[in-house]
Amino acid sequence: MLNFMSPKPIRCSYDKTVNIPIELFESLNGNYFIGYADHLNLGKGTNAWARLYNPPHSGVNLFVNVWTVTEISESPFRAQFWFNSYPPEGPFKTASVTSSNTAIQPAPVPRVELQFASGVSGDPTGGVAAFVRDGEPGTTLVETENGKLIFPPGGNFLVFLTVTGDLSAAAEGRIAFGWWEEKIPYCF
């Protein structure tokens, strides 16, 4: 007679693997930063911009993860995205940014700067106008790049805002970024 009872369970040993998003990995290591430029005034013949600027001697590569453009106006707008360009001449400011991991003390300090300017004339020069997005009044444009936009020391990722509807209308917007930085390995 056959015994159809199941045999003792076999216990297998498995290796456990955990996958985490690259953004979380970089944040855990203190390399992920966020910041925004607010009250960007444009319209009435002027434009505004904000950029992540990687200084020439930073020793890091900049990996853009996410950007948002929020426009508060009554006119449609355009966001142009430039790689390694020069913004229109004129005074600019540097925005405060923060590490996304506030558990690390002292807090990590980014090497990349978030710079911005309002009410500027002219267009960016040099570099590459990589892509454009159009927005309607009161909307937010957002894109997650997952670090695929990479800028070495001396490079930058610039967002340039213009009003496309009523050019005589005043507008105000904000631009935010999330990015991480990785030290450049030095080979001898």
Supply the pLDDT for residue 1: 54
Contact 60, 185 (CB under 8 A): no
Supply the pLDDT for residue 113: 98
Residues 6+ apart with CB under 8 A from 185: none
Give the neighbor-by-neighbor strand order of the sheet with 47-53. 93-94, 113-120, 47-53, 156-163, 77-83, 128-135
* Tens digit of each residue's pLDDT (9 = 90 or more) over 83-95: 999 999 889 999 9
Supply the pLDDT for residue 5: 60
Supply the pLDDT for residue 8: 66
Higher pLDDT, 185 or 4: 185
Q: What percentage of the chain has pLDDT greater than the value 90?
A: 76
Neighbour-count burial for 124-139, b at 16+ CB within 10 Å, e otherwise: beebeeeeeeebeeee
Look up residue 33 and give its two tokens. 């930063």
Residue 23 has pLDDT above 90, yes or no: yes
Supply the pLDDT for residue 108: 97
* Tens digit of each residue's pLDDT (9 = 90 or more) over 41-85: 999 999 999 999 999 999 999 999 999 999 777 789 999 999 999
Q: Is 28 exposed, middle or buried (0-12, 13-18, 19+ CB in 10 A)?
A: middle
Q: How confident is residue 29, by pLDDT bands cut at 50, 70 and 90? A: very high
- State mean pLDDT over 108-137: 96
Supply the pLDDT for residue 28: 96
Domains with residue ranges and CATH for the chain: 35-183 (2.60.120)
Q: How confident is residue 161, by pLDDT bands cut at 50, 70 and 90? A: very high
Supply the pLDDT for residue 141: 95
Q: What is the mean pLDDT of the chain?
A: 91
Residue 17 has pLDDT above 90, yes or no: no
Q: Model pTM?
A: 0.88
